[in-house]
A and B are shown apart, each in its own frame.
Chain A
Amino acid sequence: MGKGIIAMAEKVLTVCPYCGAGCQFYLVVENGSIVRAEGYAQGRTNQGELCLKGHYGWDFLNDTKRLTPRLKRPLLRRSRDAEFQEVSWYEAINFAATRLQEIKHKYGADSIMLTGSARGPGNEANYVMQKFARAVVGTNNVDHCARV
């Protein structure tokens, strides 16, 4: 019993997205969905141990809609009293980039503030964000929410 299930299950080694302790563990994936988390004995900071969030904190990926729905498509509204409309990536990026350029030309690059994220995106995304702020927008106004 269970042979087929074992064959389909896949273990993906990862790092917890919650606190800063850097616990490493496996996500067990079956049929494209996460079914559980398993401690990783070689994890440098946690050595196989996991807390409540490590054990159960992956469920949001299944879009449970318990609190809020996942964002699935770019949304745009051309005035603040309008409703958000689903648009293509091209339209969303084009709108955002054009408006940022206009603001930069009208008020200067330092009238634009950008944030990195200390949560899920990861170091590479933050590197690209600060590069975007400095090299493309032309400002050092880039920060994140937990700085001390």
Chain B
Amino acid sequence: MAGLAATLGNGAMSNSIPEIEDTKCLFVFGYNAADSHPIVARRIVRAREKGAKLIVVDPRMTESARIADLWLPLKNGSNMALVNAFANVLIEEGLCNKDYVANYTEGFDEYYKMVQKYTPEYAEKISGVPAKLIREAMRMYATAGDAFILYGMGVTQFGQAVDVVKGLSGLALLTGNYGRPAVGIGPVRGQNNVQGTCDMGTLPNVFPGYQKVTDPAVRAKFEKAWNVPQLPDQVGRMLTDVVHLTREGKMKAFYIMGEDPVQTDADAASVREALKAMELVIVQDIFMNKTALHADVILPATAWGEHEGVYSAADRGFARFRKAVEPKGDIKTDWEILSMMATAMGYPMKYKNTEEIWTEMIGLCPLYSGATYEKLERLGSVQWPCTTAESTGTPYLYAGNKFDTPSGKGLLFAAEWRPPMEQICKDYPLVLSTVREVGHYSCRTMTGNCAALQTLADEPGYLQIHSSDAARYGIEDEELLWIASRRGRVLTRAQVTDRANAGTVYMTYQWWIGACNELTAENLDPISKTPEYKYCAVKLEPIKDQVWAERYLEEEYSKLRHELSQPVR
């Protein structure tokens, strides 16, 4: 989010998901739609059927790569070098839209200085992508007419993430691909309401509607509406600061709503250590999870299906979700629990329903002020900005090529490529990258409790490994093995596949036994503070006695299930 917010003024998808199939060229970078967002993947297939060109940049032969016109299999951790080379080709070959660059962008001279040395030949040395292919990709992208960039966590989960996002947004600026349908750039969000959580200001630097906490006029507005004398004026801490701040004795209490950081955050051992050091851990959730085992108090909340509200889709689309069944047990909605907490702390808070909360919220946010419950009901979905009673929302941003930056222009930005922090070596000779799979989701408490989805895949999850690496270690398909990094060691099961590239192995992050975040490193992007989930050094240890390994797996799994069931009777 930080990347696009800096260069374009808005961190969300510039265009809509339905527009994907109407573009002339799809440029997919570090994004495996088939496993992460199957419905978006279908749009990609449909775009292809309608004649769009498809360029895919990914180290793995993903489904999109399989049907692509051009597949650029880059080395893991070389994103920035390749993106700089793309810009280099666009400029040096005269493929950029000079009028557009002159009228609607700024920062070209410095940008050009930075990308000048990233010739395709130079980038080939770093990324392993042939120079010829880099040139072909940019010729295809720049001459398509309408081109749409999609990127995913193959970009954002590196130590150098924000720079790469800025770089990608620059390619669309150079070619004038903004401000009309079926162009632009789209980060496709991993979880259903990542966009909404940002929209609501669950961020340390902004109130709802992306209004800065450092702006005195904004604070005054919220102070008045919320009836408090003074709101904090310093940007707050990020979630990824928690481990080190706790170590330094600066963080004492943690109120966790609907997250499982022990399972989903990098370097799980450090997260556990932080939770143990906290004086108070409050967990508010729907299921017992690994994080809740460290709590002092657990507040049971209703789940999706048991309460109503609004989600934001990745393309800024607000839509209402509804209650289908009555909750079982003595549980409450998240907002009721928070209202009780506020009241007990001396701030009386009472809402009748979600509509009352929503109405208060849109009244404070010019960006959403026209998106009433009534309108959402009537139209089904409304994409913000929706600033007036008449507005039906905004499918694409930057109409008239007016960007939401202070100057109104799009910012061209490039940075030097930085290699990933942890390098492979003799002891840890393989790269581990964490990825998604289609049947499960996030920390798995929801999908793992669904019969059909659990049958599809269960513990300890799979390690995707290229056949040449598997042969070198003497590992057969479906065999159990150990994988270790400098931080931990876990059991996993081999899936020998040549869709993975040699030298890198891939794991999904939802497993308890095969918990890849016991292995990952917390090399944070300096701006977004997102950990480097996509790159750490590991080694493999084959297991001779597979019968023992299968039994060990069963025992460990039962033990964990028992530990997590125990507090709930």
Contacts and interface: CB of A to CB of B under 8 A. Distances in A.
B235 A140 contact: yes
Given A111-B252, A128-B357, A141-B236, A27 B307 contact: no
B447 A60 contact: yes
Contact of B191 (A27, A49, A89, A119): A119
B329 interface: yes
Interface string A65-96: 11111111111111010011010010011111
Contacts of B202: 115-116, 126, 129-130, 142-144
Contacts of A75: 295, 297-298, 300, 567-568
B502 interface: no
A54 B450 CA distance: 11
B454 A67 contact: yes
A18 B510 CA distance: 14
A132 B294 CA distance: 23
Given A57-B453, A89-B332, A71 B298 contact: yes
B521 interface: no
A53 B200 contact: no
Given A44-B18, A134-B222, A22 B232 contact: no
B528 interface: yes
Contacts of B389: none
A19 B437 CA distance: 12
Contacts of A141: 204, 236-237
B441 A147 contact: no
A125 B310 contact: no
B39 A45 contact: yes
Contacts of A17: 192, 304-305, 311, 321, 446
A2 interface: no
Interface residues of A, number: 111
Contact of A22 (B282, B317, B347): B317
B251 interface: yes
B231 A115 contact: no
Given A15-B192, A71-B287, A127-B357, A122 B310 contact: yes
B156 A148 contact: yes
Contacts of B561: 67-68
Interface in B323-361: 323-326, 328-335, 337-342, 344-345, 347, 349, 351, 354, 357-358, 360-361
A8 interface: no
Interface in B180-229: 187-205, 207-208, 213, 222, 226, 228
Nearest to B258: A117
Contact of B165 (A57, A103, A148): A148
B140 to A, nearest CB: 26
Contact of B194 (A20, A34, A54): A20
Interface in B259-318: 259, 261, 264-265, 276, 279-280, 282, 285-289, 292, 294-301, 303-315, 317-318
B322 A130 contact: no
A125 B339 CA distance: 10
B453 A56 contact: yes
B334 A145 contact: no
Given A73-B329, A97-B341, A111-B250, A34 B324 contact: yes
A50 B287 CA distance: 25
Given A17-B304, A63-B328, A68-B449, A100 B17 contact: no
A39 B358 CA distance: 27
Given A122-B310, A132-B338, A68 B445 contact: yes
A65 to B, nearest CB: 7
Given A68-B289, A89-B332, A100 B452 contact: no
B372 interface: no
A137 B37 CA distance: 37
B17 A49 contact: no
The 10 A-B pairs of least Cβ separation, nearest first, read A22-B313, A117-B258, A116-B202, A122-B309, A140-B236, A72-B329, A20-B189, A51-B38, A71-B300, A97-B344
Given A12-B324, A22-B17, 6 more contacts: A18-B191, A19-B37, A59-B450, A67-B454, A120-B446, A125-B257
29 contacts: A15-B313, A17-B192, A18-B446, A19-B189, A20-B189, A21-B40, A21-B188, A22-B317, A63-B328, A64-B451, A71-B298, A75-B567, A76-B296, A77-B296, A80-B296, A93-B299, A95-B296, A100-B255, A111-B253, A115-B258, A116-B202, A120-B304, A121-B307, A123-B311, A128-B338, A128-B351, A129-B257, A131-B226, A148-B528
